[in-house]
Chains A and B, each alone.
Chain A
Amino acid sequence: MEQTTERKARGQVAEIWHQFSRNKGAMVGSFIVLVIAFIAIFADVLLDYDTQVVGQNVAERLQWPSAAHWFGTDELGRDIFFRILYGTRFSCSVGLVAVSIGLVIGVTLGAIAGFFGGALEEVIMRSTDILSAVPNMLMAIVIVSVLGQSIWNLMLAVGITSVPQFVRITRAAVLTVRNQEYVEASKAIGLTNGKIIFKHILPNCLSPIIVQATLRVASAIISASSLSFLGLGVPAPAPEWGSLLSGGRKYIRDYSYMTLFPGLAIMITVLALNMMGDGLRDSLDPKLKK
């Protein structure tokens, strides 16, 4: 009976899950992210937008947290808890769409730069440098100011500021993989460059891209909240967390709960995403095994 020198290996995905599940922080973070995602998906069904989210009730304004209003009410009598719950939809959608924009553009440019090199690489990388030299917030503000205030423009603005990181990470990963012999082997069996990039190179660059994407969602949420805080994000009365923060500013001295809860919401979401992203990075890195 033949024995091999390799131990019985799990499949790659099973191995990654095994490493990930042993990281307590990552598991907690992922759980929270899942809960938030769940809320975001079902908020529309669970809550009645008109009465619970934007419905004003002046009689109940500025109430501290109580059994009736878990997080209290704002200056227009709206229940802050419900508004925060509904706000997950904005955070999640902006996070996902913005990062998707950044990813698609960034990975494509990074792959082209890394694979072809030469003048093409120079042009792409220097453009990326120029783009990243402009502070993210400033860039986003400019875009929204020029294109107008709407959730789509918010996503676009945040998305564009995510591009440089994806370009750099993809290019670095592609440069490493490009020198592997299996890429040469693909050329030897007659694949075109495009096929080589999409079939062989990019699938092997996924790890850093996935980690980056997860972490970028967190920073996208912060960016979106910051823009909304400045009044350039989703227009009122939409309960985007940044807007909630902004709205609570005037009342911060006497009604601090109005800024506390939206702030906590942002913080917990971002923290959870970061822990999940770190866990992913650790479990996808074969050298850190054990």
Chain B
Amino acid sequence: MAEQKDMVLEMENLNVKFVLEEETVEAVNGISLHMRTGETLGLVGETGAGKTTTALSILKLIDSPPGVLECDRMEVCGQDVLKMTTSELEHIRGSLVSMIFQDPMTSLNPVFTVGQQIAESLERHENLNKNDAWKKAEDMLELVGIPRERAIEYPHQFSGGMKQRVIIAIALACSPRLLIADEPTTALDVTIQAQILHLMKELKEKRNTSVIMITHDLGIVAETCDRVAVMYAGRIIETGNLDEVFNHTKHPYTEGLFNSLPNIKKRKHKLQPIHGLMPDPTNLPKGCAFAPRCNYATEACKERRPELMGFGGTHQAACLAYEQAGFHIERGKTNG
């Protein structure tokens, strides 16, 4: 059906725990994600929020033990991932769903040429013979802005930015429906980052790929994404399209993130950091995980865990304070 074809990812109620010898790390606690074709979702959060774990779960790349993955429903392009065997998963990894990892320096195998690494994916998933795969690999290099003659070179002969382009070429070689990019530009200089983001945008538009962009940088989200999901302590605490989340922010943590950001357009504005620290994932507080650091916390917030509630359109946020009529946060006020 048209509906099903359109949905690239349907994930409902993902929970991931890591059971260690003395404690259990609750990394992901009830995440649901739905992606359509051609959409770009920004998955935002700081270290330890559970973003990478969520991404790895889609491809079932979590080591288990010690990881324990539970999910009500996880379908990629209509196929049930939860029931898949390892060989079935290997089939979709790289062809239906691709992932770009954070550090370009260590993501490439130093003993193979870049051409070989791109061709490997093609041979595996598209059943091409060596020659055809190599030609297509060279095509991919050109697509990402690297001269095709360089296909015979080794990773160490490329700079950080170029390595990341090669990684994008590998990830997109088999035209995946969904691309998961885990902080793809964090390790790069800002001018190179601009080049890479521009490239990713072009390619995504040409091929209508859905992208989950994992980042802690709200600036990148503003420039490359259609929708945003903000994570804290393994939960999504606010989600919506860009206008909803940026201009009508609802959750206090999201507000705190915006206030901590140095913004070159608003230079006079003093930074307002969020006081305190991220909660210990082995010992999450009873109620709302953000309550200890929240300026608006009430007694109820410390007791009950908030669920996502709607604020019109696609905008949802998980905050109990809104149960009181007329409650709003500072940022919401000034930004309309």
Contacts and interface: CB of A to CB of B under 8 A. Distances in A.
Same complex: yes
Interface stretch (B135-143, B181-189, B277-285): B277-285
Contacts of B279: 3, 5
B276 interface: yes
B292 A5 contact: no
A286 to B, nearest CB: 15
B277 A4 contact: yes
Contacts of A2: 276-277, 292
Contact of B21 (A4, A6, A7, A290): A290
Given A290-B20, A290-B21, A3 B282 contact: no
B249 to A, nearest CB: 25
B125 to A, nearest CB: 34
What's the dominant secondary structure at chain A's contact region? loop
Interface size class of B (residues with CB under 8 A): 10 to 19
A1 B297 CA distance: 13
B323 interface: no
A4 B276 CA distance: 8
Nearest to A2: B276
Interface string B93-108: 0000000000000000
Nearest to B285: A3
B277 to A, nearest CB: 6
Given A290-B20, A290-B21, A5 B277 contact: yes
B256 interface: no
Contacts of B20: 290
B285 A7 contact: no
B48 interface: yes
Interface of A: 1-7, 290
A143 to B, nearest CB: 46
A3 B280 contact: yes
B292 A3 contact: yes
6 contacts: A2-B276, A4-B277, A4-B280, A5-B48, A5-B279, A290-B21
Given A290-B20, A290-B21, A7 B280 contact: yes
A4 B277 CA distance: 6
B280 A1 contact: no
A3 B21 contact: no
Interface string B262-283: 0000000000000011111011
A7 B66 CA distance: 18
A190 B48 CA distance: 37
A5 B277 CA distance: 7
B299 interface: no
Contacts of B277: 2-5
A198 B16 CA distance: 46
Given A7-B23, A7-B280, 4 more contacts: A2-B276, A2-B277, A3-B276, A290-B66
A3 B283 CA distance: 9
Contacts of B276: 2-3
Interface string B283-305: 10100000010000000000000
A6 B283 CA distance: 10
Q: Which of B66, B277, B282 has the most CB of A within 10 A?
A: B277
A135 B21 CA distance: 46
B21 A5 contact: no
A7 B292 contact: no
Contacts of B280: 3-7
A4 B283 CA distance: 10
Contacts of B292: 1-3
User: Which 5 residue pairs are nearest across A and B when measured between Cβ atoms?
Assistant: A5-B278, A3-B279, A3-B280, A2-B276, A5-B277
Contacts of A1: 292
Contacts of A3: 276-277, 279-280, 283, 285, 292
A164 B222 CA distance: 60
A4 B278 CA distance: 7
Q: Which of A1, A3, A4, A7 has the most CB of B within 10 A?
A: A3
A10 to B, nearest CB: 10
Contacts of A5: 48, 277-280
A3 B292 CA distance: 8
Interface in B207-258: none
Nearest to B293: A2
A136 B66 CA distance: 47
A4 B280 CA distance: 6
A81 to B, nearest CB: 44
A34 to B, nearest CB: 27
Contacts of B278: 5
Contacts of B285: 3
A5 B280 CA distance: 5
Nearest to B275: A2
Contacts of B283: 3, 7
A7 B279 CA distance: 10
Contacts of A290: 20-21, 66
B22 to A, nearest CB: 8
A22 to B, nearest CB: 9
Contacts of A7: 23, 280, 282-283
A191 B257 CA distance: 41
A238 B21 CA distance: 51
Nearest to B279: A3
B234 to A, nearest CB: 13
A23 to B, nearest CB: 14
